[in-house]
Amino acid sequence: MVNVDPGKVWLQRAGMALVALSLVVFIWGLQHRARIETSGEEVIRMLFVPSVEQGTLVRRGDELARFIRADSGLSIRSAVPTSYAAVIQALGTAQADVAWAPAFAYAIANERYGVEARLQVVREVDLFAILVTRAEPHSPQRLEELAGRRVAIPTTVRGELRQRLLDRLNRAAPGWTEVPTGSNLDAMRMLVEQPGAVEAAASTHVFSGPNDLVGDGRKELEAFRPGILRETHVIDRTEEPVAQQTTFYHGCILARTDSGVSRLADLAGQPFAFSDETSTSGHIFARVLLEREGIRLGHIYFAGGHPNVVQAVADGKATGGATYYSPPSEKEVRDHTLVGDARRIITKRMQDDDARMKFVTDVRILALTDPIPNDVCCVRRGFPRRVWERFDASLQRFLATPDGRSAYHDLVAGVAAAPCDDRLFDGFREALHRAGVSASQILDAEERKLSSKTSGGKK
């Protein structure tokens, strides 16, 4: 006689009942949506992927939905499914119309279901401009000494920031001459490699740890030519930062300052920590960077999150690590956390400013990855253009209000939403290909992670 485990039987019956209930709810949703649409009411179901704390997404998403409903007359509902796959599937089966999703989720939805990118999240970076000269006795030591001299100014110093820099030069150093260059790095190379070409070089600048090799062109060049920081010095900086908008972010490579690792090549054969398998900044783009440089790492492991990577490097458990990178902003100035990258998660727990500075001095950034597209607002295939135009116009009016900007920042960490299309993600797909992964593989890993969390298991 076969013994039957009553618990297993109950679980099987409960599972079958849950599936049946889900089917009933799904069919009801289709019928309910059809009834509303037949009545002439415009209905939009808007989804957010489970990223930040779910309660915040639900609350802020409802605020956006209420505003659009009152402003445009569209009947809109906001929801936060428990998984990335649920968002993609809902778009593919027309159970959702609009979704805010990261690059990899959009890439899958576009490939499988023809989902269309319409808007991209825009974020802000607070930038200064600096002027750098060679650390030589005959080189200019003050802004006023640039009168009649040549200054390399890169295209990265643009808009209001460029105007502020030009105003300072015009007031203090009449007769100076601009020599246009490409990037911050190009300007610094011209300064140190072509002494007869310019006497000074400009660069955008954000705060970074004392030993970081990011933040401005001078530090970036140090990664390629050690000693540049000793051979040059900053003679001037604009007084106030200028907020510039950006539609991308980066990953970064970390190492301890005292580890003997001063450039990426030094990581060859060393133990290395990636954030997790699904992380675009803390794994995929970082791996592309390292492989492009021909670096074969030693033991590799996934630390299970960005702060875990930072701590592993700080504790010496890994010689190097990969995490996300964001430049510091006014927020980091207010809370004294100093940096906007993943080290901030650690410095935020510290009570002492000296301890924070020591930490960002001891754990340094060696390099940034290629740019990674910000999140996208996408629509299902066949979503009516006239309805989208009403939605978009109302969203832009929401972003024009103080409360709207605050809610939007909580939802997607953005300040604006800029028009975009699928071509924006061609470079992203190529980076995935170079890393030997597909967007579907990332989705599968994300689903396993979410399933583990839901069941109470460990990742």
Question: How much is the pLDDT for 449?
Answer: 66
* Residues 254 and 367 occupy one common structural domain: yes
Q: Is residue 24 part of a domain?
A: no
Is residue 193 assigned to a domain?
yes
Please tell me whether residues 265 and 367 are part of one structural domain. Answer: yes
Specify if 35 maps to a domain. Answer: no
Contact 155, 453 (CB under 8 A): no
Asked if residue 153 lies in contact with residue 200, where contact means CB atoms within 8 angstroms, the answer is: no
Q: Is the pLDDT of residue 331 over 60?
A: yes
435 vs 93, more confident: 93
Residue 278: pLDDT over 90: no
My answer on whether 268 and 353 are in the same domain is: yes
Residues 263, 369 within the same domain: yes
Question: Residue 16 has what pLDDT?
Answer: 45
Q: What is the CA radius of gyration of the chain?
A: 26
Distances (CA, A) of 306 to 254, 284, 313, 369: 11, 13, 11, 15
Q: Mark which of 312, 338, 373 sits at the end of a domain.
A: 373
Residues 6+ apart with CB under 8 A from 200: 131, 132, 133, 140, 146, 149, 150, 151, 152, 191, 235
In order of 28, 178, 233, the CA distances from 139 in angstroms are 77, 17, 10
Alpha carbons 146 and 412: distance in angstroms, whole number = 44
Name the band, by pLDDT with cuts 50, 70 and 90, for residue 5. very low
- In this structure, are 80 and 111 located in the same domain? yes
Count of residues making up the chain: 459
Rounded CA separation 404/400 (Å): 7
**Within this chain, do residues 284 and 188 fall inside the same structural domain, yes or no?**
no
Q: Does residue 100 share a domain with residue 86? A: yes
Is 37 domain-assigned?
no
Residue 84: inside a domain: yes
Within 8 A by CB and 6+ apart from 382, the residues are 94
Q: Which amino acid is at 225?
A: R
Q: Which two tokens stand for residue 236?
A: 């001037």
CATH number of the domain where residue 444 is located: 3.40.190.10
**Which residues, in sequence order, are CB contacts of 389 under 8 Å at separation 6+?**
none
- Number of helices (H) and strands (E) in the chain: give both, helices first: 17, 17
Give the single-character DSSP code of 282: I
Band (pLDDT 50/70/90 cuts) for residue 453 is low
The pLDDT of residue 425: 92
Query: Per-residue confidence at 11, pLDDT binned at 50, 70, 90?
Result: very low
Number of domains in the chain: 3
Structure tokens at 80: 């936060």
Q: Answer yes or no: do 312 and 386 share one domain.
A: no
Exposure string for 297-331, b = 16+ CB within 10 A, e = fewer: beeeebbbbbbbbbbbbbeeebbbbbbbbbbbbee
% of the chain beyond a pLDDT of 90? 72
Same domain membership, residue 217 and residue 166 = yes
Q: Do 391 and 290 share a structural domain?
A: no
| Mean pLDDT along residues 63-79 | 94
**Which tens digits make up the pLDDT trace of 30-70?**
444 444 343 345 679 999 987 667 888 999 999 999 999 99
Helix axes 439-455 and 426-435, enclosed angle (nearest 10): 80
Residue 108 lies in a domain: yes
Q: Count the Cβ atoms, other than its own, within 10 Å of residue 262.
A: 16
6 domain-assigned:
no
Domain residue limits at 263: 248-373
Residues 271, 203 within the same domain: no
Q: When comparing pLDDT for 313 and 277, which is higher?
A: 313
Of 52-56, 109-113, 392-396, where does the model show the most confidence? 392-396
């290909």: which residue's tokens? 433
**Which of 327, 347, 373 marks a domain boundary?**
373
Average pLDDT score over residue span 105-123: 93
User: For 406-442, what is each residue's pLDDT tens digit?
Assistant: 999 999 989 999 999 999 999 888 888 887 777 777 7
Please give the pLDDT value at position 52. Answer: 64
DSSP 109-149: HHHHH--EEEEEEEEEEEEEEEEEEESSTTS--SGGGGTT-
Over range 286-308, report the average pLDDT: 94
Domain end among 357, 373, 389: 373
User: 19 pLDDT exceeds 80?
Assistant: no
Task: Give pLDDT, residue 43.
Answer: 77
Q: Which residue shows structure tokens 């802000």?
A: 124
| 146 and 211 together in one domain | yes
Most confident of 145-154, 324-333, 404-413: 145-154
Give which of 322, 429, 425 is closest to 367, Cα–Cα: 322
| Average pLDDT of every residue of the chain | 87
257 by Cβ neighbours in 10 Å (0-12 / 13-18 / 19+) ranks as middle
Residue 104 counted as domain residue: yes
